[in-house]
Amino acid sequence: MKKYLFTFLLAICTPFVYGIETDQSLLLINPGRETYINYPSQILKSRFNVTVFLPEKYVPLKKQYPVILWLGAEPKQAPKAKELQERYPAVIVGINWKEADYNDPEQLVAFITRELVPYIDTNYFTFAEPEKRLLVAEGEQASRLVLALLKKPYFANAAAITALSEPEVYKDIPGAVRLYIRGEQAGLSVAQKSLETAQKTYGTDFVLHYNRESDGWWEISRPDYLWAPREQVQLKRLDAELDAKYLVLTENKAAHLRIWAVLENQQFFDYIPGQVRMSPPYLTWDETTGSLRPIAGATKGTVRLGAVVDKPGFSAKIKLKNP
């Protein structure tokens, strides 16, 4: 009943809120999806769409669900939402913001915490605990908004899709928050170093994931990691692989070192150490590119790569050859 009253009010009140008589707010109901066209926010005073992707065909829902708040999702992504919900049933709330819409983060935080979250919890059968809400963002500006939202008491997990290059953005993240961060090598390197400097632990507090073209919504959001019990996501070991068997000493070539983190529940993610132990120390490690290069004065032989400091060890080796 509340929902239909809300729809009626949207239709008759929005022109007075915005001073536009021809552009009304509407609620479009489809099996498994409800889209609020021109969602009437008193805080933002702007027009955008909110889509609620349902794990069941109709409301009222038969059981209680966690919530995934997806910044940037649109109604046309219903098939992707369904794909995710088949693997992890949840109410997915999408807001069709673009990168240009994030220019006033304080207002966006106020809208989500004061208007959107209370509305979803009132009108859908959802868990109200912060641990049962998941934030997903695509793009740098959306990811910055996620980090701002995490400082509010409404969320305790996040999937900040784009790794940010400024170390300061990872400061003051609450202790209960768990981050899943996607991006390229250089950005992930900044994220890992910054978070570990802030006393965050790989596995239980955050993990990294290289961007891959084949990634779908499941890989992007990963609720299986973000909502897993803490003891299941502790770092168990590191595995490593080199893309070259040897390096020629007089040539300006590099070997790429790829490191995987294996958690207690056997989930695999990417790991980027700030330093790698080598014996003899004939190579230099560049964490922003993931490359190993011979140093001046290196001689023919085998360089053994050992454990990363304070982390479960891995071993790999690479040969240095004369031309």
The ranges of the chain with pLDDT < 70 are 1-23
Q: Which residues contact 305 (CB under 8 A, 6 or more apart)?
A: 240, 257, 276, 277, 278, 314, 315, 316, 317, 318
DSSP lists the bridge partners of residue 292 as 255, 285
- How is domain 2-234 classified at the architecture level of CATH? 3-Layer(aba) Sandwich (3.40)
Rounded to whole angstroms, the maximal C-alpha distance in the chain is 80
Nearest to 267 by CA among 229, 315, 305: 229
What pLDDT is stored for residue 15 in this prediction? Answer: 35
The C-alpha R_g of the chain, in whole angstroms, comes to 24
- Give the start-to-end residue ranges of the domains of the chain: 2-234, 239-321
Q: Tell me phi and psi for residue 248, to 5 degrees.
A: -85, 130
pTM for the predicted model, two decimal places: 0.89
Classify residue 204 by burial, with Cβ atoms within 10 Å: 0-12, 13-18, 19+: middle
H/E stretch holding 183 reads strand 178-183
CA separation, residue 124 to residues 8, 128, 190 (Å):
18, 11, 39
Give the distance, in angstroms, between the CA of residue 275 and the centroid of all CA atoms in the same chain.
Answer: 25
How many Å apart are CA 319 and CA 30, to the nearest integer? 61
pLDDT, tens digit, 9 for 90 and up, residues 117-150: 999 999 999 998 999 999 999 899 999 999 999 9
What pLDDT is stored for residue 175 in this prediction? Answer: 86
What pLDDT is stored for residue 23 in this prediction? Answer: 61
Q: Which residues contact 307 (CB under 8 A, 6 or more apart)?
A: 277, 313, 314, 315
Q: Which residues contact 8 (CB under 8 A, 6 or more apart)?
A: none
What pLDDT is stored for residue 247 in this prediction? Answer: 95
pLDDT, tens digit, 9 for 90 and up, residues 228-272: 999 999 999 999 999 999 999 988 899 999 999 999 999 999 999
Q: Tell me phi and psi for residue 286, to 5 degrees.
A: -110, 105
What is the SS3 string spanning 23-88?
CCCEEEEECCEEEEECCCCCCCCCCCCEEEECCCCCCCCCCCECEEEEECCCHHHHHHHHHHHHHC
How many Å apart are CA 305 and CA 318, to the nearest integer? 8
* CATH classification number, 239-321, choose in 2.60.40, 2.60.120, 1.20.1260, 3.30.420: 2.60.40
